[in-house]
Amino acid sequence: MFYKLLLLINLLGLLSVNVLVNGDVKVDMNSPDQVEAGQEMTVRITLEKSDLRSFARFQQQLPGGLEAEVVEDGHADFKFEDQRVKFIWLKLPPEEEITISYKVQVNERLKGVFELGGAFSYIENNERQSVDVSARSVTINPSPSVDPQMLVDVGDFKPMAQPPAQRQSVQQVQCIRQKPLPLEEGPGYRVNLLVHKGNKQKFAKIQEQIPQGYEAVQEEAQGAIFTFKDQIAKFLWMNLPSEPFFVISYRLIPTNDTEAPQISGQFSFIENDNTRNIDIVQKDVNLSNTSQEHLLSIVQSFEGPQITTTGLDARDNEMQDQAPAQQPRKSGKVRVEIAQEAKRILEANARLTHQLEPQSGVYYRVQIAAGHRPINVERYFNQYDIEKEVRTELHDGWRKYSVGSFPIYKEARDYRVHIWDTTTIDDAFVAAYNDGTRITVQEALMITNHKWYK
């Protein structure tokens, strides 16, 4: 009885607190000193990041026999793979203090002591910075319900042999390009791509080689980052859409007289920490109907393309940091490319002139234009004689231009009408924000309990 009481006190009350500081950045980690095998413990990290808004990552290494599950993600992408806990932010949220936490399930056969350390890495002034968390000791007390002969020291743990799981066929993954369609509204083509992602959820890329004489412009990206450079159009996903089938599209705009486009491309994704590549197959199919039933019928009518595996020589370095040479790890090149591209876009966002700064609470602005290429804001909008300052933001791959800041929807609606009446801009509309993040007008009205006005 005394032994169990002592364990309970340790589980509930004994917390080890570790605080490290790097300039304005502070990392505070709380974790139990002891845990009983077969039970759970919670690790909580508080990041005091000041005004950092960059790409960032918090990472910790767990020994074999411990499994992690997210509790508080702090607006990060959580991963647990190869015994590494990772919280990844493409862009840190505006709050100066962020709390993240996760639960650790301890295998019932374990005993012994392990070290829990970690690091918070981020980009500042285009340079990688890091705050290390000094390793702290955590004792695993053996479970009284397990035969002592079955106990294993945490440093020697290897999982019991399990029956091989039925392998999900990668042939389920397909990507079909509809034969490019001439645009109705002018010269050029619309390119639709059907993706059947199978059970894939994260880190994927579509890359299309565009012939000379054409420029690619995003239409529907399904949450991807879209880029076009050196005649290569790319769609990059940190997180794939939830639907098993989805359609993305882009337009091809001719820059001179040229023949009908001949396009080649690949869909790349992560499987078992390797990069897999499949050739995109072009077919004369109808992808204007995006119902799941219709897309399924198209997928079932074609055999899966040949899948190749990219040789891997990089370590897991979303932020291009090098792991110790004695700890080599495999990594998907797609994963690294997506992180690098996201960092490039965020840095480009920081260089925007007339950049829109976030405000607190719910507010409304009137969007007056959008495009993919940067423009001289003052020179372009001076022709409209708009009395309010035009601000720029990057959103869903577009550079969007808006004016005003209105706490009440009706005021924004009235100013939209004013834009219609006093300028040649006839497609202005109201955009809603909550703490600097775009939301729908309907969501904003529900949050503020304001009325809808036509």
pLDDT, tens digit, 9 for 90 and up, residues 260-271: 889 999 998 887
> Does 204 map to a domain?
yes
Q: Report yes or no: 45 and 136 within 8 Å, Cβ to Cβ.
A: no
231 plus 102 within the same structural domain = no
Whole-number pLDDT of residue 189: 92
CATH number of the structural domain spanning residue 135: 2.60.40.10
**CA-CA distance, 193 to 205, in Å (whole number)?**
12
199 plus 297 within the same structural domain = yes
Domain count, the chain: 3
135 plus 27 within the same structural domain = yes
235 plus 149 within the same structural domain = no
> Does 96 map to a domain?
yes
CATH number of the structural domain spanning residue 281: 2.60.40.740
223 plus 281 within the same structural domain = yes
* Last-in-domain residue among 134, 156, 178: 156
Most distant pair of Cα atoms in the chain: their distance = 87
302 plus 174 within the same structural domain = yes
82 plus 176 within the same structural domain = no
269 plus 301 within the same structural domain = yes
Q: Report yes or no: 424 and 347 within 8 Å, Cβ to Cβ.
A: no
Q: Where in the sequence is the domain holding 442, given as residue range(s)?
A: 362-448
> Does 299 map to a domain?
yes
* Last-in-domain residue among 310, 344, 373: 310
Per DSSP, the three-state class of 359 is coil
CATH number of the structural domain spanning residue 406: 3.30.70.1070
- Spell out, as residue ranges, where the chain has pLDDT lower than 50: 1-17, 19, 21, 161-171, 311-331
Whole-number pLDDT of residue 169: 38
Residues 6+ apart with CB under 8 A from 226: 218, 233, 234, 235, 236, 250, 397
**CA-CA distance, 344 to 233, in Å (whole number)?**
16
368 plus 426 within the same structural domain = yes
266 plus 292 within the same structural domain = yes
DSSP state of 348: H
Whole-prediction pTM: 0.41
121 plus 267 within the same structural domain = no
Backbone angles phi, psi at 347, to 5 degrees: -65, -35
> Does 328 map to a domain?
no
8 plus 140 within the same structural domain = yes
* Last-in-domain residue among 127, 156, 185: 156
> Does 340 map to a domain?
no
> Does 321 map to a domain?
no
**CA-CA distance, 441 to 154, in Å (whole number)?**
53
Whole-number pLDDT of residue 289: 83
Whole-number pLDDT of residue 159: 64
How many CB atoms are located within 10 Å of the residue 338 CB? 24
> Does 151 map to a domain?
yes
> Does 346 map to a domain?
no
